[in-house]
């Protein structure tokens, strides 16, 4: 299994480091060719406006939409979640429109208000450590979008099919829970069975 990580800007290296620690092969994605052959894609945190512009310039915008249409797994963290959303506010911004939700950019405050908190999730009993860095508030989720974790009464981790998005940064903690979930999604074939070759810890 090979996971692509969009490596334009932002904290892509932190995702690569976490996946390396889990024994998973990764590739930095900057072109459509890089994306070909990936079983899953991570859209990291950073500045969604800059990332969006790059995706449009490099033709990756359509390539990622096609990747999703092929039912490949995509994980968006923070800016990546903004790119996945169907509606972006504060300010209004174009996006890939893949995951039915409305996000409010910088909804948890500016950089100074960034914080490490604990929230409850359906992924494990112990609380999930959540690092917020000018993260978006997930204001609304559409039908069929599952809320896997919440913070301050708002969805913080959501999933629909093979798309998963977090308002926080699991890659900046030592907790691999969310990445494990994503790898399971990426390893599952369309008929619901897991493909061979997923690295186990
Ligand atoms: N505030 C950034 C944006 O709106 C996201 C911040 C992040 O990814 N940590 O794009």
pLDDT of 146-178, one tens digit each? 999 999 899 999 999 999 999 999 999 999 999
In sequence order, what are the residues at sequence separation of 6 or more whose Cβ sits closer than 8 angstroms to the Cβ of residue 51?
6, 8, 9, 10, 43, 79, 80, 83
Could you confirm whether 38 is annotated as catalytic?
no
Categorize the per-residue pLDDT at 27 as very low, low, confident or very high, splitting at 50, 70 and 90.
very high
- What CA–CA distance (Å, rounded) separates 104 from 163? 19
**To test the ligand 1 pocket, which listed residue (5, 88, 102, 135) has its Cβ within 8 A of the most ligand atoms?**
135
Pick the closest to residue 95 from 51, 131, 132, 148 (CA basis): 51
Does residue 15 have an active-site annotation?
Answer: no
Rounded CA separation 157/152 (Å): 12
Position 190 scores a pLDDT of 57
Task: Quote the pLDDT of residue 114.
Answer: 75
Query: CB of 48 closer than 6 A to ligand 1?
Result: yes
Q: Please check the confidence at residue 193 and state whether its pLDDT lies above 80.
A: no
Query: Is residue 78 flagged as an active site residue?
Result: yes
State residue 198's pLDDT score: 42
Greater confidence (147 vs 196) lies with 147
């Amino acid at each position: 299994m090979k996971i692509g990580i969009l490596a334009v800007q932002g904290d892509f290296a932190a995702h690569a480091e976490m996946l390396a620690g889990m024994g998973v092969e990764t590739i930095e994605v900057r072109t459509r060719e890089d994306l070909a052959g990936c079983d899953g894609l991570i859209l990291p945190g950073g500045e969604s406006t800059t990332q969006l512009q790059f995706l449009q310039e490099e033709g990756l915008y359509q390539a990622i939409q096609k990747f999703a249409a092929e039912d490949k797994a995509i994980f968006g963290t923070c800016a990546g979640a903004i790119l996945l959303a169907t509606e972006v506010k504060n300010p209004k911004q174009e996006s890939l429109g893949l995951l039915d939700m409305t996000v409010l950019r910088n909804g948890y405050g500016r950089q100074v208000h960034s914080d490490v908190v604990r929230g409850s999730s359906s992924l494990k009993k112990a609380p999930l450590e959540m690092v917020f860095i000018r993260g978006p508030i997930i204001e609304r989720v559409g039908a069929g979008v599952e809320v896997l974790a919440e913070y301050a009464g708002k969805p913080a981790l959501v999933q629909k099919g093979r798309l998963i998005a977090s308002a926080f940064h699991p890659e900046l903690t030592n907790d691999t829970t969310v990445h494990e979930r994503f790898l399971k999604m990426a390893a599952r074939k369309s008929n619901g069975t897991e493909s061979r070759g997923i690295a186990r810890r």
